Amino acid sequence: MTVTDKRKLLFSTIDEVAALYRAKAVSPVEVTEAVLERLALLEPKLNAFVTVLADQAIVQAKAAEAVFLKGEATTGKLLGIPVSLKDIFATKGIRTTIGSRIMSDNIPDEDAYVYGALIRAGAVVFGKTHMLEFAYGSIHPDYGQCNNPWDVNRTAGGSSTGSGSSIAAGIGYASLGTDTGGSIRAPASFCGIVGLKPTYDLVPRQGTFPLSDSLDHVGPLTRTVKDNAIVLESISTATFDYDAVFSGDVRGMKVGVLRSLTDSIADTEIRELSLAAVDTLLMLGATIIESTILSIEEVEEIAIPLLLAEASTHHRQWFPHREKDYAPSTFANIKEGFNITAVQYLTALERRRKFTEVVNGSLADVDVLVCPSFPFTATMKDPSFEEGSFDVSLRTIPFNVTGHPALVVSAGNTLSDNLPVGFQIVGKHGDEASVYRIAHALQVALGGFREPPL
């Protein structure tokens, strides 16, 4: 293959690669080798991987190749497709660091559910990706920052940093991440890809190191919306009528625009690109309705007690005697969690129930709600609660609190610095299909995935 052909292959969709396999135009081994070659080329710039599983990947690719050579009529959609996963998922016999010094030598004796699901689907798992320490908002200095392929001086967005960076850069066709307050949607937004936080517990969390049991979600990061659905179908109980979902027809669908979460963004380019995305949906035939979520600005008072208390519960075995092994801000968060009282925690649970009812009410008369995902593009380093206002996650964490599916797709790039702007689409519980339908039509209308210059 020429360099041009190889790059085209690396940025192809899952369906396109599978079609090439069936036609015997390219083999899973060739594709896997191309992915590993690109990883080796870009890794010094991106720092996207904690562990590369090259030998394992080639073995899995050869097994997939044997199936295609037999010409079997029916194969899984992920058979032979190179994918990665965040280093928060247990992998039997394979180091799982969770981005921390404390777990740097951790070798699990069981597989996380989603890792097993990928293996059963025939995917080629070639690496475990960089993440913020314990998914808690800070980089551990032992691992360093994971960089953005649009500008390697900026962060890829956390906590699923390596998953977002690698997929945007053409290193693999999908990656799995976790999202407690926006940790899938931030990398998707900053890197210009598609990231889905599914309905709460649609994807089993067994074998995933917990941050906050009430808020944690597992989901896929991909370059296209359809690729995202292909992966979700393989790791969850969801099934999709692909012809209906990906017809491109959104005529008559009702889209509720959360204007308060759009108009409050100071960055003019982000507001304009988000409103332009809404105009595109209108042009495609969707019905646009102005919507609100009452008291959404108060969601911090619900989310933070839950997050702090539940996270600290999972660190009891190391607190406080392993203080020096944590990044300072991670330890500070864990320490604060032990100060949350039972009354504060139970009050937050009750307010969570009521707030979920409010969001259900906002979705009652529309198919989806939409708004920008973040108030800024990729920053030089990962933003944290300690260094800024809660506006960082005001548009993402509400839907961790309520468990509604929320997807980020790119609305385009800014003119000022050519950085992606994320657009969020939120659906009813269990209705990933409507979210995907809107997102796919929008992505296609806006020209599809845009490759970074790297």
Q: Which residues are catalytic?
A: 86, 159, 183
Q: Tokens 């790059």 map to which residue?
A: 7
CB 177 within 8 A of CB 235: no
- Tokens, residue 19: 């079609």
CB 258 within 8 A of CB 274: no
- Report CA-CA distances (Å) from 405 to 21, 211, 217, 363: 32, 19, 10, 12
Of 44, 167, 169, 163, nearest in space to 454 by CA: 169
**56 class by beta-carbon count within 10 Å (0-12 exposed, 13-18 middle, 19+ buried):** middle
**Phi, psi angles (nearest 5°) of residue 404:** -75, 150
DSSP code per residue over 114-162: HHHHHHHTT-EEEEEE---GGGSS---TTT-PPEETTEEEEE--SSSHH
Other beta carbons less than 10 A from residue 62's beta carbon: 15
